Structure 1
């Protein structure tokens, strides 16, 4: 069988054509399991190199599982660390231990916060996720061009397909450096050769000890001439951000050699004029 190769840090031994999104899922759980076992094994560490966004979900009768699709802008997303699986864009924070053995994804007991969901669809989303992400699932990686796909196949016949979006560490080729930036409540006008009247975030570096308490003297306020990936500033809100700072290899002319990616918001405060 002729196969494609995945070039974005995927070293798969073989690959398989991804079904079209309109194609129905396998009609029986047996056929789903057989298809999954025929696909290539997953190499250690590959899952943590991507954000896995849910793109398709079908039950054993080929019907789309609509309960898993609440927001097109924020699809259900899986994040893998060395031994932990976390669910992003659910109502509550959800996570479980996991391991991969002989083409099966073994998921431990799902742990969730108990926050009240704002609407019935979001409440149902958490339950729908927990029902399908547990126990032993067939897992396989598929490729279309340079975009990885991951399929999870349950013995019940449910098949979930996720599209891989490279993490910042994958894109920039390293773990990056953790740093803290305080963002002033108001942006400032700054000079840019290509953008008239450009507004820049006003930032300064902050330091915190192991207990999370401020330490040392904050850095000098200065305009930041680039965006912080994943962060949207609201005028009038002062915030402290934990960010990852990456060195960009061979940046284009007049482009920054450093990239900032939001890790989490540490402090947020509304500032009166």
Structure 2
């Protein structure tokens, strides 16, 4: 009888201990999932730059559809990605097929060796949101990538895509102060890809296009991401313009 009473006393504590362990496991799992979600959110909020010793950095971008892309001096690479525990899982990498300089091809080869179909241990340090770092271990070597906030993160919104024709000739203008302005015309494309000019006349462009380099020897049509600035300060434009890519480039001689 004493043993029965003893068993009756011990059983509730045993069940409580099991329940406690189960709760702890569920709690650990919830923390792990949350950590993975936070890591994924941080990865997609930045472009990650790796100094490979080449002229230009290798740039890694994580997209919300679980695709990643890598810009090299030559070709662009891409594949799938996912976070599993403390590993960054990447799928088979596909690449564009341009022929490039030996330096560029070497950088592209390195990108493939790092990201092609791997489970990569990684460490994400985002204590400084202006300068986070992503450390990836691949092939027994550590690579430290430095984060640069994407425009979508910086301006807290999605961009409007705008096409601008850029004249080779610039002109003096006065905004807040005297400056040199680009001359632009907005361009639109229909569903068949045919181009139409929104503006027949050139207009002065008082803003800056981040990442765009003007050439006095070229007429260009460029694709631009235009972001609305939520709370512009006095004399600040309500838009920020980010260069995306050159759609057309035409060499010209002389001025307009």
TM-score normalized by structure 2?
A: 0.78
- Residue in 2 aligned with 1:244? 225
What SS class does the counterpart of residue 195 from structure 2 fall into?
coil
Tell me how far apart the structure 1 counterparts of residues 125 and 184 of structure 2 sit (CA, whole Å). 42
Bigger radius of gyration: 2
Q: Which runs of 5+ in 1 are unaligned?
A: 1-12, 15-36, 56-67
Query: Partner of 1:53 in structure 2?
Result: 49
CA distance in 1, matches of 2:103, 2:249: 29
Deviation at 1:125, TM superposition (A): 1.8
- 1:133 aligns to what? 115
Aligned residues: 219
State the partner residue of 2:66: 83
Aligned Cα root-mean-square deviation (Å): 2.3
Residues in 2 aligned to 1:129 and 1:102: alpha-carbon distance in whole angstroms: 23
Q: What's the CA shift for 1:85?
A: 1.3
- Does structure 1 residue 230 correspond to structure 2 residue 211? yes
- Relative to its length, the structure with more helix (as a share) is 2
Query: Could you tell me whether the CA contact under 8 Å between 2:68 and 2:78 is conserved in 1?
Result: yes
CA displacement at 1:75 relative to structure 2: 1.1
Instruction: Give the secondary structure class of the aligned counterpart of 1:47.
Output: helix
- 1:70 — aligned with what? 54
Measured after TM superposition, the shift of residue 217 of structure 1 is 4.3
Bigger shift: residues 87-96 or 200-209: 87-96
1:192 to 154, 175, 191: 175
Normalised TM-score (structure 1): 0.73
Q: Structure 1 residue 151 and structure 2 residue 135: aligned?
A: yes
CA contact (8 A) 1:204 1:222 kept: yes
Residue 209 (structure 1) aligned to one of 190, 201, 207: 190
Kindly state the Cα deviation for residue 129 of structure 1 after the two structures are TM-superposed.
Answer: 1.8
Question: 2:4 maps to what in 1?
Answer: none
* Shift in alpha-carbon separation, 1:219–1:105, aligned structure 2, 3 A: farther
Cα offset, 1:220, TM superposition: 4.1
Unaligned runs of 5+ in 2: 1-29
Shift in Å, 1:200: 0.5
